[in-house]
Amino acid sequence: MSHNKYLEYFLNSRGNRDLIFNDTLNIFQSKPINILEIGAARSLDFYNRQGDGWSSLHYYQYIIKNGGTLTICDIDPKSISTCQELFANLETSNVKFVVEDGLKLINEHYDLIYLDGSDDPNDMVLQLNAINLSKQVVLCDDFHTKGSLAIKYHPNVIIYGWRDSGHRMGLYRPNYLRSEIYIKQIQ
């Protein structure tokens, strides 16, 4: 693997959402998985390691170590181009970059689907309706806004949050029959 300054920074820093990404990936117990990420990095600024788009590197690290595939899609060609730059000089034979509406890519091939594309709560509901929640794990970013409508139709969700902010992420797990709220203090 060649040098990549973004991966190097990623590995040597800590982001606000690392705990949630790690908890989610631990569900799969180091087995190979296929991941669909809807929404791509919009900026390569190191500051964005804390929030915007760098989730791709969490998923990349997982599939490099355990096997599987990562499909990253966005309707904005510029975001896909930025994300490809994030992966410069890295082995990407298991990574696919697609300019497309993520709703069109949702199918049962994926074990984990990460919803972080549209900011419209209606889009999140449409995406969740297309996913087989009895078989697939789904992590939803910005659940404090986009999940406001989704939770009415799909209430069996684990909600992760921070005490010092209103930011929330929602996690759907197969056969999970109740809602829980975890307020985590990220240091």
**Model pLDDT for residues 85-132, shown as the tens digit of each residue:** 999 999 999 999 999 999 999 999 999 999 999 889 999 999 999 999
pLDDT over 70 at 184, yes or no: no
Indicate whether 185 pLDDT > 60.
no
Predicted confidence (pLDDT) per residue in 143-175, tens digit: 888 888 888 888 888 887 766 666 788 888 887
Instruction: Report d(CA 14, CA 147) in Å as an integer.
Output: 25
Q: CB of 158 within 8 A of CB of 173?
A: yes
Q: How many CB atoms lie within 10 A of CB 157?
A: 25
Model pLDDT, residue 123: 94
Report the distance separating Cα 101 and Cα 79, nearest Å.
Answer: 13
Residue closest to 58 by CA, chosen among 107, 20, 4, 106? 20
Report the pLDDT value the prediction gives residue 15, as an integer from 0 to 100.
82
User: How high is the pLDDT of residue 41?
Assistant: 87
More confident residue, 2 or 17: 17
- Give ∠ CA 89-94-96 in degrees, rounded to 5: 85
Q: How far apart are CA 164 and CA 132, in angstroms?
A: 33
Structure confidence at residue 186 (pLDDT): 43
Q: 93-115: b or e for each residue (b if 16 or more CB lie within 10 Å)? A: ebbebbeebbbebbeeebbbbbb
Q: What is the pLDDT averaged over residues 81-88?
A: 95
Domain 5-92+103-184: CATH architecture, name and number where available: 3-Layer(aba) Sandwich (3.40)
Q: How many degrees, rounded to 5, is the angle at CA 63 between CA 127 and CA 52?
A: 55
